[in-house]
Amino acid sequence: MANIKTVGIIGAGQMGAGIAHVCALAGYDVLLHDVSSDRIDAGLQSVEHNMSRQVGRGTIAHDDMVAALQRIKPARELQAVGKSDLAIEAATEDEGVKKTIFKALTPHLSETTLLASNTSSISITRLASATDRPEKFIGLHFMNPVPVMKLVEIIRGIATDAGTYETAVEFARSLGKTTANAEDFPAFIVNRILVPMINEAIYTLYEGVGTVEAIDNAMRLGANHPMGPLELGDFIGLDTVLAIMNVLYEGLADSKYRPCPLLVKYVEAGWLGRKAGRGFYDYRGEAPVPTR
């Protein structure tokens, strides 16, 4: 494996903080960046909170938590991420935003730095084209929540070389993850299957086939899913669900991937799920209550 000692992470939200969490526990030094110091601080607090919960459950030792937290350093300026051996972008699921980040970051990198995106649906080949090193660019799609979920999808762009791919696989496995190779098609494997199911559940609600509660109970108890599809959509973020459906619809030109109008309406209303306090459930009280 290429000599990866320091991992830079751009985006300190749920995914970026989760990636920082597992990298630090695995012994890597981490540089965590976001557009504001407040977001970086919130990400660091999230990592500490989640590690404390692991200590409470006996999953990790207290000394391991202390050592891991000391490995994570805030990178207040984007150029500070240039010191990393591997830089992972974990920003919002918007191609324009991601390309802007890579264009701004590239001049600060060493020749050997590898680049990765945690995108859940966008073409790795297109993102790589915004950099000066498409052969050293790869998709590392972690699942949410990162410290819990065991899978990382590895996606090669058309120009990704063999060494970059092999390093990415070894890196993911060094974090205790299992890898799945996915070809560079819209939404890859997991979200190509999962997100249309959520979209179909929203159509089922939209058409009046069942209520929010009935749909989620049906899939939990009838298909043994740990979480109902509408609850899962809220957990992922309905804006992210819509973004992935749009990538599928535009990329594959198949009407079966058309986003449900009700999904669009919820996103337009700002009802994005758990992070916004409302989605298909209202989370502002003591217990979630269906909004329809």
The sign one gets for the Cα dihedral 217, 194, 168, 23 is negative
Contact indicator for 201, 215 with CB cutoff of 8 Å = yes
Does the active-site annotation cover 225?
no
Catalytic residue, chosen from 121, 153, 199, 231, is 153
Q: Could you give the C-alpha distances from 262 to 200, 266, 283, in angstroms and in order?
A: 11, 6, 19
Does the active-site annotation cover 120?
yes
Contact indicator for 144, 15 with CB cutoff of 8 Å = yes
Tokens of 186: 């819209």
What are the residues whose beta carbons fall under 8 Å from the beta carbon of 264, sequence distance 6 or more? 242
Does the active-site annotation cover 255?
no
Tokens of 276: 């916004």
Catalytic residue, chosen from 117, 120, 121, 123, is 120
Catalytic residue, chosen from 84, 118, 123, 141, is 141
Write a three-state SS string for 8-42.
Answer: EEECCCHHHHHHHHHHHHCCCEEEEECCCHHHHHH
Q: CA 150 to CA 175: how far, in whole Å?
A: 9
Catalytic residue, chosen from 118, 121, 191, 199, is 191
Does the active-site annotation cover 89?
no
Residues with active-site annotation: 120, 141, 153, 191
